[in-house]
Amino acid sequence: MDWLSRTASLTFVPANKVLFSEADKDHQLIYLITGSVRLESTNGNSQTIKSGDSASKFPIANHQPRKVTAVAVTPSKIICIDKYRLIEHLSHPKVETDTSHDVAGAGTA
């Protein structure tokens, strides 16, 4: 979790701010923490995601290049994580050694 706290950025977004536009290639995973975001396509379709909805458990419109434009409907809080840094971290997990929970000597006096 230390790695995530150093890598992710928490951002407060005002209403009507564009988070990303269709065709963008930003390689960011964006998670909605609070507020609501509208996804708009050039064909006129739109969908609104609200924090707490099942869709908010996943990155917002994660396709690259972006297939929609995302606009904050209300003041919102988002977390951004670079997709490639996350993949690199998950591909090479650091093995942490914590001997404080070593049970090999448990029960000996």
**pLDDT tens digit string along 9-49?**
899 999 999 999 999 998 899 999 999 999 999 999 999 99
Is 105 within a domain? no
Q: How far is CA 11 from the centre of its chain?
A: 11
Would you state the pLDDT for residue 58? 93
Q: Is residue 15 part of a domain?
A: yes
What are 101's two structure tokens?
A: 């929970």
Domain count of the fold of the chain: 1
How does the average pLDDT of the chain come out, rounded? 83
Q: Is residue 104 part of a domain?
A: no
CATH number at residue 56: 2.60.120.10
The residue type at 44: G
pLDDT category, 109, cuts 50, 70, 90? very low
Task: Tell which residue, 87, 47, 43, 44, has the closest CA to residue 64.
Answer: 87
In the chain, the amino acid numbered 42 is: T
pLDDT recorded at residue 13:
97
Domain carrying residue 46: 2-92
Confidence (pLDDT) at 102: 47
**Which is nearest to 27 in space by CA: 62, 72, 78?**
62
Using DSSP's 3-state secondary structure scheme, residue 69 falls into: strand
